[in-house]
Amino acid sequence: MSKHHQPQLNTSPHISDEIRHTTCYMCACRCGINVHLRDGKVAYIEGNKDHPVNQGVLCAKGSAGIMQHYAPSRLKAPMKRVGERGEGKFEEISWDEAYEIAAGWLKPIREKSPEKLAFFTGRDQSQSFTSWWAQAFGTPNYAAHGGFCSVNMAAGGIYTMGGAFWEFGAPDWEHTKLFMIFGVAEDHDSNPIKIGLGKLKKRGAKVIGVNPIRSGYNAIADEWVGITPGTDGLFILSMIHELLKSGNVDLDYLIRYTNMPFLVNQDKNSDEHGLILRDAGGKQLVWDRVKDAPAAWDAKGVKPAMKGSYEVDGVPCTPAFMLLADKYLADEYKPEAVADRCGIPADRIKSIAAELAKVAFGEQIVLDRPWTDFRGEKHEQMIGRPVSFHAMRGISAHSNGFQTARALHTLQIMLGSVEVPGGFRFKPSYPKPVSAHPKPHHDVTPGKPLNGPHLGYPRGPEDLAIDADGKAKRIDKAFTWENPLSAHGLMHMVISNAHAGDPYKIDTLFMYMANMSWNSSMNTSGVMDMLTDKDENGDYVIPHIIYSDAYSSEMVAFSDLIFPDTTYLERHDCISLLDRPICEPDAIADSIRWPVVEPDRDVRGFQTALVQLGAKLGLPGFVNEDGTDKFEDYADYIVSHERRPGVGPLAGFRGKDGKGMGRGEPNPNQIQAYIDNGGFWIDHIPEEASYFKPWNMDYQNYAVERGLYDAVQPYVFDVYQETIQKFRLAAEGKGDIQPPEHLREQVHASMDPLPTWWEPFEQAQVDNNEYPHHALTQRPMAMYHSWGSQNAWLRQIHGHNPMYVPTDIWEANNFEDGDWAKITSYHGSITAPVALMEALNSNTIWTWNAIGKRKGAWALQDNASETTKGFLLNHLIHELLPSKGDGQRWANSDPVTGQAAWFDLRVKIEKTETPSNLQSQPNIASQESPVSLGPKNVEYGKEWK
Amino acid sequence: MTTLPQSTEKKLGLVIDLDTCVGCHACVISCKEWNTSNYGAPLSDMDAYGAEPVGTFLNRVHTFEVKQENKPAQVTHFPKSCLHCEDAPCVTVCPTGASYKRVEDGIVLVNESDCIGCGLCAWSCPYGAREMDAAEGVMKKCTLCVDRIYNENIPEEDRVPSCVRTCPAGARHFGDFADPESNVSILTAAREGFDLMPEQGTKPVNKYLPPRPKTDVEQIDILGPLLARQPEETGGFLGWLDRTLEKL
């Protein structure tokens, strides 16, 4: 028997030589990180406790940053293609030669027809810069990835209430008592939701998860609603029916803070039918129920009516609230009428509605915090309705997602739970109504910049990007009658349209961080064919492709010229208030990335490459008057550029003295000031300004002081959406700009000024007996798109992806462990391994997103599990709906915003023989790797032993 | 065979809240990145970019489905690492004295210089909480970040295991179970924390908090009072509207 023996142990070993604070980029969450360096190498990455986003915590992806930074898949130098597209054969070249080639393509385009450049950035966190570059170039064809990500959430929220979920707002984690999530997996945002759920769990607050799949957050929800995909809007509107029927809506809130009292024109023959009545000064009218007369909505002491029919100057009208009540009190929204379609029993719908009402109205919370509203009325307290909501792709990636997002915001507003204690709160620069956003700009002049920012929020048909003949001006057909409010563009249509030459042919496709030949496209096999297709002269149909990526992704192989990007630890970036900020409801904040380690390869941050290419092309803003380069690199731009006088990419430490907050002249030492402050800047919103922000004058004034707005802009929520009605009127034949005949019906049906629901398009069109099941993907918490697979640690968690099948389908097919299945949609088939999952909607199958990889990509070995058993669902999803035989191409998208409807997918599944080589299908031929493969084994940290 | 200390001054360990764990694997990877560079041999990854990558992890998250009658199936995420048992069979089975339990805090460690890689300890552990490192041939296990929790080179507030510091949902708690007033003792008492497989008789120090009962059921009778319709005799919805407006 060995005796108890304790060796001497040094419990205070040396950990690191230095800690550098920067911002994570292992996903889009943008957490603050402390990077520990030892002998110049990254030894450990942990969350930054002072950082507003993650408050010290860090997810699996963030902690795996070491393996990302040192991944063998990192590109080494600029490259030009020497083989055929798709083969992956490249030759390394110098940056000078790379810029020379790019300028050789781009200069003639700019002089003659700038629209022949399509510049689309993917998971770009510098859109305010990349869009500015595209604007200077003069092409109308710019967007990032929002069109296939979650434009329905953003646009639905902004058109309804001047803000949306994720970057735009957050639940009041400290006060909420009931939290309900719709369609949320590891979608945005990552750590803040987990931190928030932890707080709720600590307090014992209730969480209701609405999701066909009970994983992740839904697994810990106290109550799970395994809804049928694509029916969330119907479920929500049925709950609104219940709340109205029982008199459980916050009438005072609706009168004060929404357009529900506004009078709506009821003359069906009028060109202004359904629009809001205004006085001579342009102010919206309400009916004063005391004076029994019309009055401006914000007139002093006005007591608006909420029902009744009136006449103003001969125009019959009624308060918008009456239209809403009439619509949702109808029997079609009774729980019994929607239960079967939603897959939720009627009593369950009723009980959840009852619980929302009970908590919102029965458990209201009061903060003794005086505040003053925009009418000048002083309130001694802040009254809160402690129910809050969050939603993500589960509702937005459907062809009815825009109106579903609007329905959810309407539910929040009916409960009086937006911008109140315990409810949902905006994060600056939100609240920001449509009127404070730009309109889309698309006027092209050869050799000149575009006439304004590409993306924006149309106010009516006059803002569409169509020419006099109705032809799309943009290659992605954003802002056309097919999808009028496509505020984020339609990246998923670019390659398909460019290949079809519809609406026109392009010359150069320029992309960044968008794996379009693989997991970032619908119809992956089809996209690869389009990228490699040649015309009758033997030239590629899409003549030139420039791509920037840090890693050897699938898209690299399909490109002609590669700008190798740095890793996230080697680069400058700004997480800017001009862009997608990292603010919190109680604070405005922004942050930087900086090279905490220097690149050991001939790579440049993509934004620096754009700065340098912009100067070479002589783009306005990128060169001085004498023709010399305006900026040395992206860091120089971040510090020097002013978007408006005194307002630049970074809000903190402005001015010569570095004390400017939001406003102030450029400070050449700004980046160092951020580094010294932990990589970020934060300014806390005064307590009296912290809630009721759209109507709170303390907040409004604060926002102006900090440069978020240039003038105060209080507004009310547009539950009734007049802009949308304008498009509907056009569909009815009113006005000068009207949709083409074949789209009239679709525009009329989808452009409903009140939230509505329609059956998802694919489901409505395909034979549901032939394709009886729904098929979905979810993003794993430990992976971010393709990036995780090259990560030696993360790929051990999700190295392949089974198709998860619910009990009913499992038993009907006599599936057993280890079985494989053929899954078929109207568009295509895949063969993949299956696994049983009971906690799943009984008619839905699903798998993890973006696990499957092409052989030869990401510096993985050819037999890597991601390339054998791993598979993509994308092959089953088409960017177009099945042909209707009318000669038109109908997009598989939301008809309002153009959001890719990848969650509408319908499939059949059948057992198939297990392949002897355990190879999923389609099995795409290997690409050559432009980088050498990684080592066989890894023993990270051995040198420090 | 190696002896255990008669008793330990402290009983350091973890409480893991299964009601809160979302299964994100943050603890798994944070553990990996800390421990591969710190105590003992690196945590290797064999065939790191190939067909069957197999690495050493001191902490892993398992996911289980549970189906009860008349209830929809539930999913539970279950993080598992060494439980630092009071009667640790992995120590007593060790032929060289390499496995030991520290007197001062009860942490079970492997003295790698004495470890011959025989694997008996892993075989004896009922929880499967030890992993043989394939590259170094030594046994690896959770150290409760013994090189963090007393480390004077890191800020005092960070002297907790890496998994605890990183857990986004706050589902992991670290403390001294020998102290009835400690955070972990109080939490365990309040939430009916339980031992994993107590029948094994190893007296694990780590505790788990059970998932709270779910309120979802497949067939509901009446979960709570449903909303009463506004009665037709008082004008239904419009009557309610009038009465409410009068009060505003």
CATH of the domain at A870: 2.40.40.20
Residue whose entry in the numeric block shows the structure tokens 């840090």: A550
Residue of A939, A944, A945 to mutate when probing chain B, most B C-beta within 10 A: A939
What CATH number is associated with residue A375?
Answer: 3.40.228.10
Q: Nearest-CA neighbor of A222 among B25, B200, B217, B230? A: B217
Q: Which residues partner with B174 through β-bridges?
A: B14
Decide if B26 and A242 are in contact by the 8 Å CB cutoff. Answer: no
User: Pick from A694, A728, A750: which residue ends a domain?
Assistant: A750
pTM assigned to the model: 0.97
Q: Which residues partner with A47 through β-bridges?
A: A33
**Within-domain flag for A298:** no
| Distance, CA of A480 to CA of A489 (rounded, Å) | 11
Q: Which residues partner with A20 through β-bridges?
A: A35
Q: Look at residue A534 and give its three-state secondary structure.
A: strand
**Within-domain flag for A711:** no
CB A877 within 8 A of CB A775: no
Using CA coordinates, name the residue in chain A closest to B162: A46
Check CB contact of A222 with chain B, cutoff 8 Å. Answer: yes
Instruction: Please report residues of B whose CB lies closer than 8 A to that of A195.
Output: 168-170
Q: Return the number of other C-beta atoms located less than 10 Å from residue B189's C-beta.
A: 11
Instruction: Please report residues of B whose CB lies closer than 8 A to that of A214.
Output: 72-75
pLDDT at B220: 55
pLDDT at B193: 97
Decide if A63 and B36 are in contact by the 8 Å CB cutoff. Answer: no
Check CB contact of A185 with chain B, cutoff 8 Å. Answer: no
Instruction: Please report residues of A whose CB lies closer than 8 A to that of B37.
Output: 38, 43-44, 940-941, 944
CA angle A105, A107, A108 (to 5 degrees): 80
Distance from CA of A781 to the nearest CA of B (A): 5
Distance from CA of A239 to the nearest CA of B (A): 11
Decide if B169 and A44 are in contact by the 8 Å CB cutoff. Answer: no
Decide if B151 and A12 are in contact by the 8 Å CB cutoff. Answer: yes
Instruction: Please report residues of A whose CB lies closer than 8 A to that of B120.
Output: none
Decide if B146 and A11 are in contact by the 8 Å CB cutoff. Answer: yes
Identity of the residue in A12, A354, A941 whose CB atom sits nearest the CB atom of B36: A941
A729 and A815 belong to one structural domain: no
For A548, A613, A616, A631, B115, the CA distances from A622, given in Å and listed in that order, are 20, 9, 9, 7, 63
Identity of the residue in B48, B77, B212 whose CB atom sits nearest the CB atom of A219: B77
A825 and A861 belong to one structural domain: yes
A741 and A845 belong to one structural domain: no
Using CA coordinates, name the residue in chain A closest to B107: A6
The phi, psi pair for A81, rounded to 5°, reads -70, 135
Q: Nearest-CA neighbor of A73 among A525, A554, A511, A547? A: A554
CB A257 within 8 A of CB A312: no
A809 and A745 belong to one structural domain: no
**Within-domain flag for A177:** yes
Identity of the residue in A56, A59, A214 whose CB atom sits nearest the CB atom of B75: A214
A788 and A872 belong to one structural domain: yes
- Is the backbone peptide bond immediately before A449 cis, with ω within 30 degrees of 0? no
Instruction: Please report residues of A whose CB lies closer than 8 A to that of B25.
Output: 60, 781-782, 797
**Within-domain flag for A252:** yes
Profile chain B (248 residues) by mean pLDDT over runs of 10 residues: 90 98 98 97 98 97 90 94 98 96 98 97 97 97 98 97 98 98 98 96 98 75 72 92 91
Check CB contact of A363 with chain B, cutoff 8 Å. Answer: no
The phi, psi pair for A40, rounded to 5°, reads 80, 0
Q: Which two tokens stand for residue A943?
A: 């040198």
A724 and A783 belong to one structural domain: no
For A428, A494, A512, A815, the CA distances from A548, given in Å and listed in that order, are 31, 17, 5, 43
pLDDT tens-digit series, residues B87-134: 999 999 999 999 999 999 999 999 999 999 999 999 999 999 999 999
A654-667 exposure pattern, b = at least 16 Cβ within 10 A, e = fewer? beeebebbbbbebb
**Within-domain flag for A52:** no
Instruction: Return residues 298-327 of A near B (CB < 8 Å).
Output: 303, 305-307, 325
Distance from CA of B138 to the nearest CA of A (A): 13
pLDDT at A149: 85
Q: Nearest-CA neighbor of B59 among B199, B161, B158, B136? A: B161
**Within-domain flag for A541:** no
For A156, A460, A480, A492, A742, the CA distances from A747, given in Å and listed in that order, are 16, 13, 11, 21, 10
Q: Which residues partner with A835 through β-bridges?
A: A804
A130 residue type, one letter:
T
Distance from CA of B198 to the nearest CA of A (A): 25
Check CB contact of A63 with chain B, cutoff 8 Å. Answer: yes
Task: Give the number of A-B residue pairs with CB atoms closer than 8 Å.
Answer: 312
Decide if A63 and B26 are in contact by the 8 Å CB cutoff. Answer: yes
Four-residue CA torsion sign, A909, A914, A920, A922: negative
CB A731 within 8 A of CB A406: no
A900 and A782 belong to one structural domain: yes
- What contacts A408, CB < 8 A, 6 or more positions away? A156, A182, A232, A236, A389, A391, A395
- In order of their start, the domains of chain B are 12-209 (3.30.70.20)
Using CA coordinates, name the residue in chain B closest to A866: B51
User: Pick from A705, A727, A750: which residue ends a domain?
Assistant: A750
Q: Nearest-CA neighbor of A897 among A607, A324, A273, A481? A: A481
How many domains is chain A built from? 2
Q: Nearest-CA neighbor of A568 among A19, A61, A6? A: A61
| Distance, CA of A916 to CA of B188 (rounded, Å) | 50
**Within-domain flag for A612:** no
Its domain, for residue A350, covers 153-260+333-432+718-750
Decide if B19 and A325 are in contact by the 8 Å CB cutoff. Answer: no
Identity of the residue in A252, A347, A839 whose CB atom sits nearest the CB atom of B74: A839
Identity of the residue in A1, A59, A247 whose CB atom sits nearest the CB atom of B26: A59
Q: Look at residue A778 and give its three-state secondary structure.
A: strand
| Distance, CA of A328 to CA of A307 (rounded, Å) | 15
Q: What is the helix (H) or strand (E) element at residue A353, kind and residue range?
A: helix A346-357
Identity of the residue in B103, B166, B248 whose CB atom sits nearest the CB atom of A255: B248
A347 and A218 belong to one structural domain: yes
Check CB contact of A797 with chain B, cutoff 8 Å. Answer: yes
A893 and A767 belong to one structural domain: yes
Decide if A347 and B220 are in contact by the 8 Å CB cutoff. Answer: yes
Q: How many helices (H) and strands (E) does chain A have?
A: 26, 34
A205 residue type, one letter:
A
Distance from CA of B150 to the nearest CA of A (A): 6
| Distance, CA of A861 to CA of B51 (rounded, Å) | 7
Decide if B75 and A215 are in contact by the 8 Å CB cutoff. Answer: yes
Decide if A13 and B146 are in contact by the 8 Å CB cutoff. Answer: no
The phi, psi pair for A570, rounded to 5°, reads -110, 10
pLDDT at A1: 57
pLDDT at B223: 52
- What contacts B232, CB < 8 A, 6 or more positions away? none
A785 and A725 belong to one structural domain: no
CB A729 within 8 A of CB A735: yes
Q: Which residues of chain A have pLDDT under 70?
A: 1-2
Identity of the residue in A56, A245, A861 whose CB atom sits nearest the CB atom of B49: A861
Using CA coordinates, name the residue in chain A closest to B136: A939
Decide if A38 and B37 are in contact by the 8 Å CB cutoff. Answer: yes
Q: What share of chain A is helix, strand, coil (3-state, %, to 5)?
A: 30, 20, 50
CB A261 within 8 A of CB A270: no
A820 and A906 belong to one structural domain: yes
| Distance, CA of A64 to CA of B28 (rounded, Å) | 10
The phi, psi pair for A377, rounded to 5°, reads -80, 135
A737 and A838 belong to one structural domain: no
Residue of A19, A63, A917 to mutate when probing chain B, most B C-beta within 10 A: A63
**Within-domain flag for A317:** no
pLDDT at B217: 65
Identity of the residue in B22, B46, B229 whose CB atom sits nearest the CB atom of A937: B46
ipTM over 0.90: yes
Distance from CA of A936 to the nearest CA of B (A): 5
Instruction: Please report residues of A whose CB lies closer than 8 A to that of B248.
Output: 251-252, 255, 303
Decide if B147 and A56 are in contact by the 8 Å CB cutoff. Answer: no
Instruction: Please report residues of B whose CB lies closer than 8 A to that of A838.
Output: 65, 67, 73
